[in-house]
């Protein structure tokens, strides 16, 4: 199989850990390094049922922006540009994102734009800002992502497609396949059993439950105040501060009782696929010399990214091709990576990618992934970064990778 499109990002965490065994390109510090000084997210909540069901995308995004400004104490006027990843929102969320930034305290001089690379939109936003800093177009920027799947998920978010093109090009037609069917295609073509998928999914919940109970998400989650209305129309204020999709006590045996969701003879179920969710995340980047001048803490440095393509009908295999491309660009090997955040769009594709690359299970999604936490499409890429750095620091590790498959057959790292 020839890869067709996939994007991934490599991040190196250098604070407080032994970097003597890290390859030179990553281990050496330079004033010109692009570094991450803050990475925060909201809680991830269940669409139509969870804490953000009555919130708009910009409500969640503004909450993250406000806390980022409060925590870092950075002068908001120093932030040159903000890029927001989003997938489903009408108008590309362009107006809403600008409103969120202004409301959070950024001045009118801080520009705001949005980007849609489907499931990797939040990661694409971070890469776009990092690239602008590397090339000197801006000094300081924020890559972010937000999605309200409560508000926008479903047929109304889909644009019409050309029957002529679909009839004449099989790969183009495959771009319109439901994501669940692409998951079934991966499971069937690469023989990823239902048992493996359910076991992987149960483990995602176990790890996320453990992380919640130990308070490991607290440093990355921004509490957001929302207004809720009861059945009598009375409004109250509540704080949303925890992921509400995690199901303690989930087992492979329990998951095995669920019926297939997309194909009566298939293996993908509501229990071994990512949850439909709401959330937002943001990552503040600048050069090392700028961070040091401003007295800001450095979580780690951005190393490189890569994008490759895979056949749309099996879009989920993307990380298996993007991760090798990115680590090669970084001058390291997969064995040099300490922790991986690989999005769990579906258990079938996550299991395939991990096994294909021979990645030890104990290095992957150590605090659970999208099957347990949820996958607000435009948010997830930035959310993974917010989760990755505290995990690296907690374990005294150095090198992390974030990666995900992308609808229509792409991947980002």
What are the pLDDT digits (tens) for 365-383? 999 999 999 999 999 999 9
Q: Quickly state the pLDDT bin for 27 (edges 50, 70, 90).
A: confident
121-139 confidence digits (pLDDT tens) = 999 999 999 999 999 999 9
119 is catalytic: yes
Can you say how many angstroms the Cα of residue 69 is from the centroid of all Cα atoms in its chain? 21
169 is catalytic: no
Strands 6-12 and 399-406: antiparallel
For position 23, what pLDDT does the model report? 52
Q: Quickly state the pLDDT bin for 233 (edges 50, 70, 90).
A: confident
| Two tokens, residue 333 | 């090997």
Q: Is the pTM of this model over 0.85?
A: yes
For position 228, what pLDDT does the model report? 86
Alpha helices in 169-269 (DSSP H): 170-174, 179-189, 194-213, 252-255
3-class state of residue 228 by DSSP: strand
375 is catalytic: yes
Point out the least confidently predicted range of 12-21, 117-126, 167-176, 233-242. 12-21
For position 411, what pLDDT does the model report? 65
Q: Quickly state the pLDDT bin for 11 (edges 50, 70, 90).
A: low
* pLDDT at position 3 over 50: no
| Two tokens, residue 188 | 């069937």
Alpha helices in 73-190 (DSSP H): 94-104, 121-134, 149-152, 163-168, 170-174, 179-189
40-85 confidence digits (pLDDT tens) = 999 999 999 999 999 999 999 999 999 999 999 999 999 999 999 9
Active site residue: 13, 367, 379, 405, which one? 405
For position 8, what pLDDT does the model report? 59
Active site residue: 13, 205, 367, 375, which one? 375
- CATH topology for the 6-151+173-412 domain: Peroxisomal Thiolase; Chain A, domain 1 (3.40.47)
For position 157, what pLDDT does the model report? 79
* pLDDT at position 4 over 80: no
Whether 19 contacts 245, CB under 8 Å: no
Interval 2-24 mean pLDDT = 46
Active site residue: 13, 83, 119, 379, which one? 119
User: 10 has which bridge partners?
Assistant: 304, 401
Q: How many helices (H) and strands (E) does the chain have?
A: 15, 13
Q: Which of 380, 404, 413, 397 is nearest to 300 (CA)?
A: 397
Residues 6+ apart with CB under 8 A from 134: 34
């Amino acid at each position: 199989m020839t890869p067709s499109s996939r994007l991934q990002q490599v991040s190196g965490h250098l604070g407080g850990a032994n970097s003597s065994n890290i390859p030179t390109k990553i281990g050496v510090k330079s004033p010109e390094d692009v570094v991450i000084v803050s990475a925060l997210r909201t809680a991830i909540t269940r669409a139509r049922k969870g804490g953000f069901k009555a919130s708009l995308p910009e409500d969640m995004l503004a909450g993250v922006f406000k806390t980022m400004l409060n925590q870092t104490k950075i002068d908001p006027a120093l932030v040159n540009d903000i890029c927001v990843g989003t997938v489903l929102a009408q108008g590309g969320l362009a107006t809403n994102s600008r409103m969120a930034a202004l409301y959070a305290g950024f001045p009118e001089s801080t520009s705001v734009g949005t980007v849609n690379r489907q499931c990797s939109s939040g990661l694409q936003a971070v890469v776009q800002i990092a690239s602008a800093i590397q090339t000197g177009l801006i000094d300081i920027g924020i890559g972010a992502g937000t999605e309200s799947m409560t508000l926008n998920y479903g047929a109304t978010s889909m644009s019409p497609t050309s029957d002529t093109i679909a009839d004449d090009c099989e790969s183009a037609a495959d771009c319109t396949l439901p994501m669940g069917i692409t998951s079934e295609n991966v499971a069937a073509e690469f023989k990823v059993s239902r048992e493996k998928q359910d076991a992987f999914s149960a483990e995602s919940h176990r790890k996320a439950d453990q992380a919640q109970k130990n308070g490991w998400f607290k440093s990355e989650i921004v509490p957001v105040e929302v207004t809720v209305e009861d059945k009598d129309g009375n409004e109250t204020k509540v704080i949303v501060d925890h992921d509400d999709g995690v199901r303690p006590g989930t087992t492979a045996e329990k998951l095995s009782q669920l019926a297939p969701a997309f194909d009566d003879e298939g293996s993908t179920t509501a229990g071994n696929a990512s949850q439909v969710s709401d959330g937002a995340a943001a990552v503040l980047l600048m050069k090392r010399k700028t961070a040091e001048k401003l007295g800001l803490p450095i979580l780690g440095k951005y190393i490189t990214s890569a994008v490759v393509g895979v056949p749309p009908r099996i879009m989920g295999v993307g990380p298996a091709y993007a991760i090798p491309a990115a680590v090669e660009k970084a001058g390291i090997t997969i064995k040099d990576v300490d922790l991986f955040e690989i999005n769990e769009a579906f258990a079938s594709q996550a299991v395939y990618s991990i096994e294909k690359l021979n990645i030890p299970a104990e290095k992957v999604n150590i605090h659970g992934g999208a099957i347990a936490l949820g996958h607000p499409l435009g948010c997830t890429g930035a959310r993974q970064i917010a989760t990755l750095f505290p995990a690296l620091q907690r374990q005294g590790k150095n090198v992390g990778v974030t990666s995900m498959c992308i609808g229509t057959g792409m991947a980002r790292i």
